Structure 1
Amino acid sequence: MSVRPTLLVTGGAGFIGAAAAPELLRTYDVVALDNLHPQVHSTRDRPAALPEGVRLVTGDVTVASVWDHLLQDVAPDVVLHLAAETGTGQSLDEATRHASVNVVGTTQMLDAFGRAGAGPSRIVLTSSRAVYGEGAWIDADGSTTYPGQRGDTMLTEGEWDFPGLRPTAMDARSVAPLPVSVYGATKLAQEQLLGVWGRALGVEVAVLRLQNVYGPGQSLTNPYTGIMSLFCRMAMGGRSIPLFEDGRVRRDFVLIDDVVDAVVAAVTAQEVAAAPLDIGSGETQTIGAAADLIARRYGAPAPHVTGQFRHGDVRHAWAETAPATAALGWRPRFSLEEGVERLARWIDAQPGVTAA
């Protein structure tokens, strides 16, 4: 009888890990390492969304002894590294926490593989579009420029865009990563650490830079992630959705189903791309358009512009997905309209869900 390979998923009880588990279990014995942080999990109980076939180990990726104990009886063939603190705005006030989990948690994992004398043949990292910061823009002459971070003075005066420039898609082949948030900086550090370690030891490293992931199963209690679910809960309660800046911020909202397809493809592919791959919906929307769609779904009042802003938020972000299609045979399947309807139906069915 053949022995199934083992997949270790850090942060495996979270949104993406639980959603991807059913597909991953088709090929792997799946072990999930997760600290069940209360910001994401309302209780310390095993999440109902995590399939029974997944072995859950409760522990913190930043603690060396957790890794040593785990690797005494788990020898992962592949690692899916999802564990991370993800709040862009929160990271500015809790930089140590984000650096500890995202950076030190990654180095603790790598050191533990060294102490165990064995490591995986592949690590798949879910990174973030936040590594690009404001990304690349095009000037009047058609040249690429990097305007950098929007400062306090610019934002306070309501200068949302960079005058004379137009934004471009986020594409790892041509756009340099220049984070403008602590979170983005820690995700870029994860990419670089894994790249250096993997090249030195002959371990494949696949990096997926995710755009704004949303959909059924996302935490309804985490105030720092899930703007789409927050908008749904506001509209459910008959509230007008508030829009930061001028409501014309562009985002690439990618449904969890499409992200799961990309993650599974990266874990199971015969070969993985050396360069990071950008994962998005294949379309770009303004925040205002997404909020309008949700308001109409719930019969809520039209969204309204507040002029508020948040440091670390970028003006525009969307992915060029062609390289991911070429490398993984993956392509996004769901439009924003389809995704919003799937999310709204799921939220409506949750027991005890409250309007925001």
Structure 2
Amino acid sequence: MSAGLVERFDRVVALDNLHPQIHPTPERPAALAAQVELVVGDVTDPDAWDTLLADVTPDVIVHLAAETGTGQSLAESTRHAMTNVVGTTQMLDALLRNSALPRRIVLCSSRAVYGEGAWRREDTGELFYPGQRTAEILERHEWDFAGAEPVAMAASTTTPAPVSIYGATKLAQEALLTAWAQSFGVEPVVFRLQNVYGPGQSLINPYTGIMSLFCRLAKAGESIPLYEDGEVRRDFVLIDDVARAVVAATTAPAPGRLPIDIGSGEDQTIATAAGLIAAYYGAPAPHVTGQYRQGDVRHAWADVSHAAEVLDWSPQYSLAEGIELLASWIDAEQAR
């Protein structure tokens, strides 16, 4: 992404606290384009913003800073709210305080704001919102909602109803940015990202996503464990496709105010993804454990037609292609 931004803008500055859960050492990330100026600071620190904005008057801000652990957020809700909610308000206050209003702010939010999303009743075709699967439901291994099928998530038709602390903080983040931006003539562009994976993601962060975890297990010759019944559906979108979408949003002529759903546009079961990874490494077949995680939704995938309309963007990589790119990158990283 940083390389794409450098191509479009004269000056690109990154503010990052280099959190140890993501970065093993507080050093400049190797993947960050050489032309990008790195400022080490925390989005929750007003002094960091004032120092930065004394030197930079932004044209476009890409807001990526977030705590992202769905399960982790249940036990560390204050930490997630501080970064995702207070970090955003600190940024907005600082922009106003320093008379540094940008033309546009691109926020990377999450499909977690939808929660379980909408489902369609098989007998009547009616859409309904089943809400959160409770601990009692999950204990009974009632994974799906009987007599219904899930539908794709789309900002134009799906009402947000988060079922995790993380999702709730991201929805609050969206509302804060939109209300503030529309008050001060700044263009808000909100992305709702599906399950992003690919080369460059942290290999030490246990909450970074299942794809790198699956790769590490299979590479070690282990059978990949599948939660619930292995039929959980997800929309796995390669980071390269997401980066193209974000870069496009910085200069798109009229992206509008409706949140933009970004994903591969298709659903894949966890078992399918794990099977592809196991085959790549010649590992044993994945196995179903029946375990589950509070805050996880059953199925999630995006309708990406709106992104195609407003950004002239579409995903380019299949799941098999993306897994090969991720696995080969992990192999190279671990061979260092």
Deviations 1:20-44 (A, max 9, x none): 0001101111100000000000000
Shift of 1:230: 0.7
Classify the secondary structure of the residue corresponding to 2:183. helix
Partner of 1:86: 68
Classify the secondary structure of the residue corresponding to 2:179. helix
| TM-score relative to the length of structure 2 | 0.98
> In the alignment, is residue 273 of structure 1 matched against residue 256 of structure 2?
yes
Q: 1:43 aligns with which of 25, 28, 36?
A: 25
Classify the secondary structure of the residue corresponding to 1:291. helix
Partner of 1:8: none
> In the alignment, is residue 145 of structure 1 matched against residue 132 of structure 2?
no
> In the alignment, is residue 327 of structure 1 matched against residue 310 of structure 2?
yes
Shift of 1:80: 0.2
Partner of 2:299: 316
Partner of 1:158: 141
Classify the secondary structure of the residue corresponding to 1:68. helix
Shift of 1:226: 2.4
Q: 2:229 aligns with which of 243, 246, 249?
A: 246
Partner of 1:117: 99
Deviations 1:65-110 (A, max 9, x none): 1111111111101100000000000000000000000000000000
Shift of 1:184: 0.3
Q: 1:291 aligns with which of 274, 288, 303?
A: 274
Deviations 1:246-295 (A, max 9, x none): 00000000001110111011111122221001000122100001000100
Q: How does 1:190-269 map to 2 (within 5 A)?
A: 190-269=173-252
Identity of aligned residues (%): 65
Unmatched tracts of structure 1, length 5 or more: 1-19
Counterpart-to-counterpart distance in 1, 2:237 and 2:161: 22
Shift of 1:211: 0.3
Counterpart-to-counterpart distance in 1, 2:332 and 2:100: 45
Partner of 2:6: 25
| TM-score relative to the length of structure 1 | 0.93
Considering only aligned residues, what root-mean-square deviation do their CA atoms show, in Å?
0.8
Counterpart-to-counterpart distance in 1, 2:310 and 2:256: 6
Counterpart-to-counterpart distance in 2, 1:172 and 1:272: 14
Amino acid at match of 2:276: L
Counterpart-to-counterpart distance in 1, 2:261 and 2:102: 24
Amino acid at match of 1:66: A
Counterpart-to-counterpart distance in 2, 1:160 and 1:150: 8
Partner of 1:96: 78
Deviations 1:180-217 (A, max 9, x none): 00000000011100110011111100011000000111
Partner of 2:323: 340
Q: Contact 1:219–1:226 (CA<8 Å) still a contact in 2?
A: no
Classify the secondary structure of the residue corresponding to 2:302. coil
Amino acid at match of 1:311: Q
Q: Contact 2:53–2:100 (CA<8 Å) still a contact in 1?
A: no
Unmatched tracts of structure 2, length 5 or more: none
Q: Contact 1:214–1:254 (CA<8 Å) still a contact in 2?
A: yes
Q: 1:105 aligns with which of 87, 90, 93?
A: 87
Counterpart-to-counterpart distance in 2, 1:101 and 1:118: 21
Work out the number of aligned pairs and report it. Answer: 334
Counterpart-to-counterpart distance in 1, 2:329 and 2:34: 21
Change (3 A) 1:345 1:352: closer
Counterpart-to-counterpart distance in 1, 2:145 and 2:278: 30
Q: Contact 2:252–2:310 (CA<8 Å) still a contact in 1?
A: no
Amino acid at match of 1:48: A
Further displaced range: 46-55 or 146-155: 46-55
Amino acid at match of 2:66: A
Shift of 1:117: 1.6
Shift of 1:352: 5.0
Classify the secondary structure of the residue corresponding to 1:26. helix
Partner of 1:187: 170
Counterpart-to-counterpart distance in 2, 1:63 and 1:237: 41
Classify the secondary structure of the residue corresponding to 1:194. helix
Counterpart-to-counterpart distance in 2, 1:81 and 1:295: 35
Amino acid at match of 2:202: S
Classify the secondary structure of the residue corresponding to 2:105. strand
Shift of 1:49: 1.1
Counterpart-to-counterpart distance in 1, 2:89 and 2:335: 40
Amino acid at match of 1:291: A
